[in-house]
Amino acid sequence: MRYSFILLLFCSFILNSCVIQKSSSMQSKKQVLILGPETKTCDAGVMQKECYQVKWTEEQTNWEHFYNEIEGFTYEPGFVYKLLISTDTIDNPAADSSTLHYSLIRVLEKEAVCKNPVTKSDVLLLLKEKNLLLFPNGVSKSEIATTLSYQPSATFDTTDCTWTVSSSTYKSVTYEGECANTNGCTPEIRLTVKVNAKTLSIINQKEERILHRNYE
């Protein structure tokens, strides 16, 4: 009986020590964190990774890198999040580990950066009306419609709510520069236009001339 009582006291002492050690090694606080609609490449020690862009207050104007992960949170680009998180300070972290551990309590807000964007068809119609679409010369409309490589490519970016449209036409063979003493090169004229998907306004446009070497 006496032996059992001593064993019970010993076990109780061990458990209490573990609880005290755990509470002293990790201190928690709650805070609100604002996450931006895209991640950016950042330096994390000897390697690079994709970092969240965050603000710690509504008044903060510039986004800053957030190097940690948030336990329990699933990120989707194209949205601005307001999160309630728990921040734990770890007194004795593992080697090369952060002294902070973040976990999600709940998502307070999730708002799409781009609401009700214009469609691809709307953008292509706009650019056609403004003569900002290029097509290969001497190719029929039916052939363009059935040949993907002849059609403009359009990419939608949810993070800044824009459409980027690229289209091309081709010029006669040239023998200029590095194309001399060869079978010549076919010049591609490529026009890239960036369009605001909310207002259908043109943000910028760029025309490039690319030489493609002809092979036998």
Q: What is the pLDDT of residue 216?
A: 66
pLDDT, residue 213, reads 92
Task: Report long-range pairs for 187-191 (Cβ below 8 Å, ≥24 apart).
Answer: 187/211, 187/212, 188/212, 189/134, 190/134, 190/166, 191/132, 191/133, 191/134, 191/166, 191/167
DSSP string, 133-186: ----TT--HHHHHH-GGGSPEEEEETTTTEEEEEEEEE---B--GGGTTTT-EE
Q: pLDDT value at position 7? A: 47
For 82-135, how does the pLDDT look when each residue is reduced to its tens digit (9 = 90+)?
Answer: 999 999 987 776 666 677 899 999 999 999 888 878 999 999 999 999 999 999
Residues paired with 82 in a beta bridge: 34, 109
Each domain of the chain, given as residue ranges in start order, spans 27-112, 120-213
Residue segments in the chain with a per-residue pLDDT below the cut of 70: 1-27, 93-97, 216
